[in-house]
Chain A
Amino acid sequence: MFKVSDATGGYGKTVIIHDVSLNVWEGEIVALLGRNGVGKSTLMKYMTAIIPAKKGKVEIAGRPAPNTTFGRARVGLGYVPQGRFVFPRMSVIENIAVAAATNGKNATMAVEEALEEFPLLRPKATALAGGLSGGQQQVLALARALAADPCILLLDEPTEGVQPSIIDEIAGTLLRINKERGISMLVAEQDLDFCLSIAERAYVMERGTIRLETDRESLRKDKALQQELLGV
């Protein structure tokens, strides 16, 4: 359903990721693991066409993905970036509404659904997004991505800088959304426990390539592998 083959790209002349191939089946949650700086975020920017491709291709729902970032968003690729990047001088409501309206959805209804889904945003609904705490911004970035009605969601370190109580909430919400709306997910993470709690399958990256593919059980058992690849 979501497929990347031979992804090669980077910043300017520097190539960061080499020949990365992976896929996410319909309704699946897949983890993308790896230490700091192995290229997880770069891979996600490649997938969203925020950085240009040197080589390789991306398929969304069985079709070749459009070349532009906004074109990919419109065919159902959702993205929650590392560092959240909410629209800081727009209100919480506007952050959600603009994503919904851009994709031809009723903005008022999308906002109401999102506030229902993420009650922690409700008291902040009219506040500027730039003034929210890290955890609140993370939830808002997720709500914004969901408002666009994606079929595949890329999440880049959704737990980074977020307090533990909200991490559990995010895990619960992702699982529920995955079940109820059938949205597939690819989650880049360093927090192994978080990943083991939501993903059935994982790819482990090392120096810009996929080192191996594994499932939840083998990864959970294999302490030596965890130590070697992730330093945990």
Chain B
Amino acid sequence: MDYFATVLISSLSSASILLIATLGLAVVFGLMGVINLAHGEFIMMGAYSALTATQLGIPFILAIPVAVLVTMVFGALVEIIIIRRLYGRLFDTMLATWGLSLALYQGAVLIFGSVSPGIGMPQINFNVGDYTLAAYPIFMILVAAVMLAGIYALLTRTVYGMKARAAIQVPDMARAIGIDSARTNTLTFAIGCGLAGFAGAILLPIVPATPSMGFAFVIKAFLTVVIAGPVTLAGSALAAIGVGTGASVVASFMTSVAGDLFFFILTVVLLRLYPLGVSAKWRIKL
């Protein structure tokens, strides 16, 4: 019994980690329709920013906003210099962001080398019956929930959020009621990148910063957003929790390869059942 409880909790925690790594992409790809193949590298950039900040003596809790700021500013520049010219041009966007991803990866190798130290965080554990669980990964369940609620509130409860969705849904009409769609889109893209940076930073104690860490996240993040469909936030949450938890349960009873296999097979099955994503018929905003 305790064993099942621990498996379930730690699987839910892996699913939450997936969701944390996915939410930035849910904004950039799910909401804005930009296929950002460099999403993983934004996570990596967030991780290295937080790592560097802690090495400079900044406490980890303050290193997180630093990472968010760095990735947001970089994201805004990327939008202004590259993405802005390519809205609606899927293939060109993929090519450009793929190039960016390679450049960022190589840049990280040059600057930080290919192995890097972890951050010295005290390991806190707690027990479920005879089993011991590390507290930080479990804490990620709460972080994912708060992050999801925060983005939802930002996009539905604020004037910026309404402008952002209007500018994405019907850009010309957004302009025709006075919204500077171009500026709004830059900010929204930057926020998506900042969320990726947040993920890299908050996950740093679990996922150490390496130049190639982005690859581990980006495929599953994309699949999650694709499974989610048009109602991107609620859909991504459901997809990450459903598929992520399932895959992780399989992984803990079998091997991690079996878990990944389960993830991809379930994705294929879901996309056969819901070609436009599980949320295609939902009548809610996000």
A102 pairs with B178, CB closer than 8 A: yes
Whether a CB of chain A sits under 8 angstroms from the CB of B110 is no
B176 touches A73 (CB 8 A): yes
The yes or no answer to A79 lying at the interface (CB within 8 A) is yes
Task: Please judge, given known A-B contacts A128-B283, A128-B285, whether A148 and B162 are in contact too, CB under 8 Å.
Answer: no
Distance in angstroms from B89 CB to nearest chain A CB is: 16
Find residues 166-180 in chain B having any chain A CB closer than 8 Å to their own CB: 166, 169-170, 172-180
CB distance from A156 to the nearest CB of B (A): 11
Whole-angstrom distance from the CB of B162 to the nearest CB of chain A? 4
The verdict on B163 contacting chain A, using a C-beta distance below 8 Å, is: yes
Answer whether residue B259 sits at the interface, using C-beta atoms and an 8 A cutoff.
no
Residues of chain B within 8 A of A102, CB atoms compared: 159, 163, 177-179
B177 x A73 contact (CB < 8 A): yes
Q: Which of A80-88, A174-182, A210-218 lies at the binding interface?
A: A80-88
Q: Which of A90-134 contact B (CB under 8 A)?
A: 90-91, 94, 97-99, 101-103, 107, 127-128, 131
> Could you say which of B163, B175, B180, B230 contacts A89, with CB atoms under 8 Å apart?
B230
A86 to B173, CA, bound (A): 8
Check B220 for interface membership: any CB of A closer than 8 A.
Answer: no
Q: Which residue of A lies closest to B231 (CB)?
A: A89
Count residues of A near B (Cβ-Cβ below 8 Å): 31
- Within the complex, what minimum Cβ distance (angstroms) separates A117 from chain B? 17
> Please, what's the 1-or-0 string for A141-162, where 1 marks a CB less than 8 Å from any CB in chain B?
0001101100000000000000
Tell me the bound Cα distance from A128 to B279 in angstroms: 15
Q: Taking the complex as formed, is A50 at the interface, i.e. its CB lies under 8 A from any CB of chain B?
A: yes
A48 to B162, CA, bound (A): 22
- Chain B nearest CB: distance from A80 CB in Å? 9
- Residues of A contacting B178 in the complex (Cβ-Cβ under 8 angstroms): 70, 73-74, 99, 102-103, 148
Q: Measuring CB to CB, which residues of chain A are less than 8 angstroms from any residue of chain B?
A: 48, 50, 68-70, 73-74, 79, 81, 85-91, 94, 97-99, 101-103, 107, 127-128, 131, 144-145, 147-148
14 other contacts beyond A68-B175, A86-B170, A102-B159, with CB at 8 A cut-off? A48-B176, A70-B176, A70-B179, A73-B176, A81-B172, A87-B173, A90-B165, A90-B169, A91-B285, A94-B165, A98-B163, A128-B283, A144-B177, A148-B178
